[in-house]
Each structure stands twice: as structure tokens, then as C-alpha cells.
Structure 1
Amino acid sequence: MSKFFYGIEDLFVNYLFAPLDFLRFTHSWWGANTINWIFMAIGFVAMVYWMKELKIFNDNGEEDKSISSHSYI
């Protein structure tokens, strides 16, 4: 069973995370954090899109804002 877990370790350490080892050894903070900035930009765009969609539904009056909107309340 231990060979199975060593196989998983080998897969992740030597193959899947190999491109990240290159970024770790760059001497630039910007170069090392490129992936983080990409994920932050994607998250920001997704948040802006979601807020725009919520505003569209709010402006149309489709949202039930009554206090007892759920039957269990």
C-alpha cells in the first residue's frame, strides 16, 4: 500500500507541480506570483459579473424581499 502513496507523491512532485518549481526560483517577486495575480484577476472579473447580474434581477423586481419569504420562517 505504501507504493501506492509513493506513486501519488511522485506524480504530483515530479510531474504536476514541476512548472511551479521554475517560478519558485525566479528572482523576481512579480515572476514568482504570476499565477496568483492571474487567479485574482479571474476572481475579480467573476465578482463584477455576478454583481451586475444581481443588479439586473434587483432592478426587474424579481427578488422576493418579504420577511417571510420562506415557509419555515
Structure 2
Amino acid sequence: MKAFFEGIQDLFVNGLFWPYDFFRFMENWWTSNMVNWIFAILGTIAMVYWILELRKYDASGEEDKTITAHSYL
């Protein structure tokens, strides 16, 4: 059983996370955090898109906003 978990450790440490070792030893903070910046930018784009879609749906007036619209209300 110990070998199984050591195999998982080896897969992640020596296999899947090796690109992060390159970023870890860089001198420039902005470049070393490039992956974080990419995820932050993608998350911001997705959030803006979702908010615009919600506003478009709300402006179309399709939703029933009466008190009896949902049974739990």
C-alpha cells in the first residue's frame, strides 16, 4: 500500500509539477507568477461574461418574479 502512495507522489512531484519548478527558481516575481495571472485573467473574463448574460436574461423579462413563482417561497 505504501508503494501505491509513493507512486502517486512520484507522478505529481516528478511528472506533473515539473513545469512549476521552472517558475519557482526565476528571479522575476511577475514572470514566476504567470500561471496565477493567467487564471486570474480567465476568471475575470468568465465573471464579466456571466454577469452580462445574467443582465441580458433579466432585461428580456422571461423570469416569473411573483411571490408564488417558486413553491418554497
Structure 1 residue 8 corresponds to structure 2 residue 8: yes
Q: Which amino acid aligns with 2:68?
A: S
Aligned mates of 1:29, 1:69 — CA distance in 2: 52
Per the alignment, residue 34 of structure 1 pairs with 34
| Shift of residue 72, structure 1, vs aligned partner | 2.2
Per the alignment, residue 19 of structure 1 pairs with 19
Judging by fraction of residues, say which structure has more helix. Answer: 2
Alignment TM-score, normalising by the size of structure 2: 0.93
| Shift of residue 66, structure 1, vs aligned partner | 2.2
Aligned mates of 1:61, 1:50 — CA distance in 2: 17
> How many aligned residue pairs are there?
73
Per the alignment, residue 69 of structure 1 pairs with 69
Aligned mates of 1:8, 1:36 — CA distance in 2: 24
SS at match of 1:72: coil
Residue segments in structure 1 that go unaligned for 5+ positions in a row: none
Q: Which runs of 4+ in 1 moved over 3 A?
A: none
